[in-house]
Structure formats: structure tokens, C-alpha cells
Amino acid sequence: MRTKDKTQEQPIKEIERLRRRIAALEAVETEHKRAEDALREGERFLANIFNSIQDGISILDKGMNIVRVNPVMEQWYAHNMPLIGKKCYNAYHDRDERCEACPTWQTLQTGESAYEVVPKGGPGGTIVGWLDLYSFPMVDAATGEMRGVIEYVRNITARKHAEEALQRSYRQLRETFIETVNALASTVEMKDPYTAGHQRWATRLACAIAKEMGLSEEQIEGIRMAGLIHDIGKINIPAEILSKPGQLSDIQYNMVKIHAQVGCDILREIKFPWPVAKIVLQHHERWDGSGYPERLSGEEIILEARILAVADTVEAMSSHRPYRVAHGIDRALEEISLKRGAFYDPAVVDACLTLFEKGFRFD
């Protein structure tokens, strides 16, 4: 009887063991299915993101062949569909070879992300807009090997058009400023012919000095605008004083000295993109503080005004005036050399002397 019980117990244990194994396998299968569902859900989620992004996305292999694109790219390049399987430069730019300065090529060569503004291709190789193109390496997480490139593309055509319109407006504004300056200069010329030529030649020298000193084109343009009208304040001085052939009296000289302040007052309400009014105000200030109207010294005087001060002196001394004969260039250069570090910024004087050593001439 006891033997029979043992015989019956053996199959029961085996069945129990099988039941546990089946339960374990079912649990593994359930977990596997749950993981597959989660993976599919993740893929659907990523696909939804990929397809809903309003910028273009293009995935390329290492041969620059298009592997996948989002709907935005299909919309932009509908004239070249299908895109998948084509070289990116053929599908997007109607070219038979890769583009110069191609960020995707840079990424393939360096393994680093890259960026470039590229033309947006249209039918027949036309350019219909502009794109920001960012390229990122697509790396296999397991091996670290680069598998291809992801291109992220943003349409910046509207922005480019706005920038171009802004540039046109800026150019028109500059032209308006130039016309304003020329009109103001003409006003002074009508009253004092000597001032007319002086302003033009002093401006030419001042701009050359500024360039020699390495100033930016924008700063040089400001000097040009200020130089052409730096004596605009003389419009307030009686013509008989401006053209007086002899020595000025103290009263007359003091009247002449106010032209810098008057010029600034005339110009201060004009919204120049350069400090024109300040340059005009300070062009008779001196490095040692002995100038006028505010007795500024050193770097209290803006650099543009310090440059114009030297150019103003050199041109004035080398030219004829109603009250004296021309001293000539050599005497003018000797004057600024003697007053270097006293009346004039040493760096500006040095640049001016270098210019004449290189052969600068007013004519």
C-alpha cells in the first residue's frame, strides 16, 4: 500500500513541476509581449513626433542616400518624389555631385554636428528660398559606429526676406543721411568757400588715418559724415569775419570758437547712426585739455574727434586762408609732431605721419 502511494506521488510532483514551468514561461511571454507593446507604442510615439514636426527631417546613410523623411520634406520636395533612395544633393538640389560647404558631408568626415545656410531647391534646379541646415551624426549605441546623418532643416525664407528688406531700408537711410550731410555742407560752402574745400580734404585725411589705425568701416563712415560738416557751426559767424584778410580780434576769435558748439546744436537732433554731433563738438578739444569748448583731455575726447583734430590741423595749415598764406605739408606735419602728446593724441599723430611717409596726398 505504501509503495502504491509513492508511485502515485511521483506523477503528481512531475505535474506540479511542469505547471510551475508553464507558469514561468507564461510570465516570460507576458513580459515579452508587454515589452513588445511598449516598444511598438514607443515607435508609434516617435513616429508621431517625427511626422508632426513642422521643420524638415531627413535621415541619410553614410553614402548620403536618403533613408527616411518626414512629411514636411515630402511637401517641400514634392517635385522630386520619391525622395527615399536618392542622393540628398540630387533630390534636394538637382545636382549630380555633392554641394560645396555641405554640412552633412562635414559631419560624415568629422563625426561632429555641422550647420550651414543652404538654398531651398525648387523645380528645375531653381532656388525658391533659404534653409537652416543642421546635421547630426547618427551613432549605433551598441558599437559606437556612425550609421548615417540626421538632417534637421528649418525654412528661413521669410526671415531672409525680412533681413533683405531691413538691409534695403538701412541703405536708403544711409543715403538719406548722406544727402542730409551734403545739403548741410553746401549751406556752409555758400557762405565760406574756404570751408568747403577744407572740410572735404580734412575728411579724406581723417578717414585715411582711421583706416591706418584699424578702425572699423562703420567708425570710418561716421568720421566721413562728421568731417564733411565739422565746420557747419560757422554758418552762425558773419561772413566778413570768416573771410577777414588780417588777424582776428579777441572778440572775433571768440565768435569763431563757438562754431563747434553751434554745429553740435544743429546736428544733435538728427538721429545719425554715428556720434556725428559729438565729433563735431569735440574736434577742437586738445589732448592736454587746452582746447574748446569743454576743455576735455586725453581719452575724454572720443577717438573720432581726436583723429579729425589732427586732420583738421594738417589740412588747414597746408592750405591758403584769407588771413595767411599756406604753410605747406612739411610745416603742418612738423606742427603736429611738435604738439604730439600735448595738443594731439600721439597714436593719431603717428598714424598721420606714417600715411605721408607712404605717399598720401590730398590731390
Same domain, 230 and 96: no
Does residue 268 form part of some domain? yes
What average pLDDT does this structure show over 246-273?
88
Strand partners, 155: 131
Which structural domain, as residue segments, surrounds residue 137? 53-155
Does residue 18 form part of some domain? no
How far is Cα 359 from Cα 176, in angstroms, rounded to an integer?
34
Local structure of residue 294 (DSSP, 8 states):
S
Same domain, 182 and 74: no
Same domain, 188 and 283: yes
Residue 305, pLDDT > 90, answer yes
Best CA proximity match to 280, nearest among 289, 270, 290, 288: 270
Same domain, 211 and 280: yes
In tens, the pLDDT along 82-122 reads 999 999 999 998 888 888 889 999 999 999 999 999 988 88
Does residue 264 form part of some domain? yes
Does residue 311 form part of some domain? yes
What is the pTM for the complete model shown? 0.61
* Sequence-ordered list of residues with C-beta below 8 angstroms from that of 189, at least 6 positions apart, any chain: 195, 196
In tens, the pLDDT along 339-360 reads 999 999 999 999 999 999 999 9
What average pLDDT does this structure show over 40-55?
62
Same domain, 138 and 277: no
Same domain, 229 and 297: yes
Local structure of residue 83 (DSSP, 8 states):
-
Residue 320: alpha-carbon gap to chain centroid? 44
Same domain, 119 and 62: yes
How far is Cα 100 from Cα 102, in angstroms, rounded to an integer?
5
Is 205 in contact with 360 (CB distance < 8 Å)?
A: yes
Query: 136: helix, coil or strand?
Result: strand
How far is Cα 289 from Cα 343, in angstroms, rounded to an integer?
8
